[in-house]
Amino acid sequence: MDKRNNNGISRRTALKRMAMLMAGASCLGLPTLTSCDMETKKRIILYFTATGNCLYVARELADKHTELLSIPQMMKQKRYTFEADEIGLVYPVYGHMPPNMVREFINKARLTARYKFAILTYGNRKCCSVEIWDDISRKAGCAFDYITTMIMVDNWLPNFDMNEQIKIDKHIPESLDRITADINSHRRWHEPVTELERQQHAGFLKSSGVNPEVGFKMISQEAFAVTDSCIGCGICTEVCPRGNYTLTSTGVKTEGDCEFCFACIHNCPQKAIVFKQLKEVNPNARYRNEHVSLWSIKEANRQNKPTE
Query: Which chain residues interact with ligand SF4 by CB under 6 A?
Result: 220, 226, 230-236, 240-242, 244, 252, 254, 258-264, 268, 270, 272-273
Closest CA to 120 of 177, 69, 179, 168: 179
Which partner from the list ligand SF4, ligand FMN, none does 53 bind, CB cut-off 5 to 8 Å by kind?
Answer: ligand FMN
Asked if 96 is part of the footprint of ligand FMN (rule: CB under 6 A), the reply reads: yes
Closest CA to 90 of 98, 78, 79: 98
For strand 146-151 and strand 115-122, is the pairing parallel, antiparallel, or unpaired?
A: parallel
Asked if 125 is part of the footprint of ligand FMN (rule: CB under 6 A), the reply reads: yes
Nearer to ligand SF4, 145 or 259 (CB): 259
SS3 sequence of the chain:
CCCECCCCCEHHHHHHHHHHHHHHHHHCCCCCCCCCCCCCCCEEEEECCCCCHHHHHHHHCCCCCEEEEEHHHHHHCCCCEEECCEEEEEEECECCECCHHHHHHHHHCEEECCEEEEEEEECCCCCCHHHHHHHHHHHCCCCCCEEEEEECCCCCCCCCCHHHHCCCCCCHHHHHHHHHHHHHCCCCEECCCCHHHHHHHHHHHHHHCCCCCCCCCEEHHHHEEECCCCCCCCHHHHHCCCCCEEEECCEEEECCEECCCCHHHHHCCCCCEEECCCCCCCCCCCCCCCCCCHHHHHHHHCCCCCCC
Nearer to ligand SF4, 43 or 266 (CB): 266
For residue 39, the minimal CB distance to ligand FMN (Å) is: 31
Which partner from the list ligand FMN, ligand SF4, none does 236 bind, CB cut-off 5 to 8 Å by kind?
Answer: ligand SF4
Asked if 258 is part of the footprint of ligand FMN (rule: CB under 6 A), the reply reads: no
List binders of ligand FMN among 224-243 (CB under 6 A). none
For residue 35, the minimal CB distance to ligand FMN (Å) is: 37
Binding-site string for ligand FMN from residue 139 to residue 178, where x marks contact by CB under 6 A and - marks none = -------------xxxxx----------------------
Asked if 124 is part of the footprint of ligand FMN (rule: CB under 6 A), the reply reads: yes
Nearer to ligand FMN, 23 or 259 (CB): 259
Which partner from the list ligand FMN, ligand SF4, none does 136 bind, CB cut-off 5 to 8 Å by kind?
Answer: none
Nearer to ligand FMN, 126 or 302 (CB): 126
Which partner from the list ligand FMN, ligand SF4, none does 212 bind, CB cut-off 5 to 8 Å by kind?
Answer: none
Which partner from the list ligand SF4, ligand FMN, none does 252 bind, CB cut-off 5 to 8 Å by kind?
Answer: ligand SF4
Binding-site string for ligand FMN from residue 277 to residue 296, where x marks contact by CB under 6 A and - marks none = ------------x-------
For residue 58, the minimal CB distance to ligand FMN (Å) is: 9
Nearer to ligand SF4, 142 or 236 (CB): 236
Closest CA to 110 of 84, 91, 133: 84
